[in-house]
Amino acid sequence: MKDSFLDKLCCPVDKQEPKSEVFKRHENGDILEGLLTCPSCRRYYPIVYGVPIMTPDEYREKALEEPILKKWGLALENSEEKVFLLEQ
């Protein structure tokens, strides 16, 4: 995914513009892996294989996202069951 695509993304919950962090790029400069974080509700959205996973909470699975976060040195916050926040 191109950096310019980041400007088109918004949080599915509150439509705020997320902050982005890139962990891995393709040799052509495209973003392969990264993290989007909503400044308003604090939900995070991973970018995996160049695709931003911006799904509403009810369609997300913590068990599927945990290994990805762990690889990036991050962890899920262990609070409300269906809200996807990172450990601070």
Binding site for Zn ion (CB under 5 A): 11, 13-14, 38, 40-41
Structure tokens at 69: 């976060």
Q: Tell me how many degrees the CA angle 14-19-20 measures, rounded to the nearest 5.
A: 130
For Zn ion, the closer CB: 13 or 68: 13
Quickly tell me which residue has 């990264």 as its tokens: 34
The nearest distance, CB 83 to Zn ion, in angstroms, is 10
The nearest distance, CB 73 to Zn ion, in angstroms, is 23
Give SS3 for 74.
coil
For Zn ion, the closer CB: 11 or 69: 11
